[in-house]
Amino acid sequence: MSDLNLFSSYTLGSLTLANRAVLAPLTRNRAGAGFVPSEFAATYYSQRASAGLLISEATQISQQGQGYQDTPGIYTQAQIDGWRTVTDAVHAKGGKIFLQLWHVGRVSHVDLQPDGQAPVAPFALRAATKVFVNNRFEDVSEPRALETAELPGIVNDFRQAAVNAMAAGFDGVEIHGANGYLLDQFIKDGSNQRTDAYGGSIENRARLLLEVTAAVVAEIGADRTGIRLSPVSPANGVSSSGPQAQFDYIVDQLNALDIVYLHVVEGATGGPRDIAAFDFESLRQRFQNTYIANNGYDLDLANSRIAQDKADLIAFGRPFIGNPDLVERLQIGAPLAAFDPATLYGGGATGYIDYPTLAESNAR
């Protein structure tokens, strides 16, 4: 046991974080025309800049990578410029922020795809899930399998998105390899039934994730590259017959690439931590750099894991929505405010930037 806790400072690569609390990626569906971040996004993120690290909402690397209505991109100059207003605002408050790079794969709808084409996937298996499109939740569309020759283009889209993120002023990027989206679809054998070099064995199914990571590292540096994984989460209809061996292998390879952090969803995304047997401590021990733990954490569990050296940083998601000053509230033991589920996805300022801090609430 150590004296370290959630409020201790931390060195992440070349960055010094004020504390060990992380704003987890939170999709809010508020991008404007051209999938540029909302006019309110700079305020939203800067309000939460007291977190040691902010990770942006999932941000598509291409139009093909989009799966939900009104989510922002990072593949046009207008999007880069829009994100620059966010990073400037966060840095003005002394915060640090990474951009999460996203390709949804089969978790999409033809109304979101270029020219109404089918979404892409490792294999032509439709996901048992819905997406937010046309102002409502609809079943995903039938996907088509990616050709082997198309995969270098996917890798390059991630690489270019990382370049664009640096141009937008981010401190780094997080590759989204979790929650049943494209890279996770390749990893897990429930969604990947390919017979080429990207399917079958543990090594083959990890290939695309590792190629993407290596390309991003080569472009922007390992100390600016993190990755998010969800070994046992069934999010968006994925499943794995042998997650321990699969993710032990992946983490060994990521460790060799020396990326700055591993962000792990422990259990079902937004659900039970004990949904399936899995030794997360194995991933922690295999990975030499920063381990960010995510899913169902409160202050006591966070402090316990940090003190026992089972995690370096702790990611909080929905508690940050209604509590822009979450870190300060946790530190003084103040009650946490609830958020309004009706304003979670889509809309404008209401339910986005109008949640007061504790000081603002007390002043009313």
Q: Is 181 a catalytic residue?
A: yes
DSSP single-letter state for residue 112: G
Residue 3 burial (C-beta neighbours within 10 Å; 0-12, 13-18, 19+): exposed
Tokens of 230: 């969800």
d(CA 73, CA 125) in angstroms, rounded, equals: 26
Residue 273 structure tokens: 């931590």
The first and second tokens of residue 137, run together, are: 């939740």
| CA separation for the pair 318, 164 (Å, rounded) | 27
Task: Report d(CA 92, CA 334) in Å as an integer.
Answer: 26
d(CA 15, CA 318): 25
Write down the catalytic residue from 45, 181, 352, 355: 181
Measure CA 176 to chain center. Answer: 5
CA atoms within 13 A on the CB side of 232: 20
Residues in the chain: 364
CB-count burial class (<10 Å; 0-12, 13-18, 19+) for 142? middle
**How many Cα atoms sit within 13 Å of 286 on the Cβ side?**
19
- From CA 268, how far away is CA 142, in angstroms rounded? 25
Closest CA to 40 of 347, 319, 333, 361: 347
User: Containing H/E element for 139?
Assistant: strand 136-139
Q: What angle do CA 118, 139, 127 make, to 5 degrees?
A: 70
Active site positions, annotated: 181
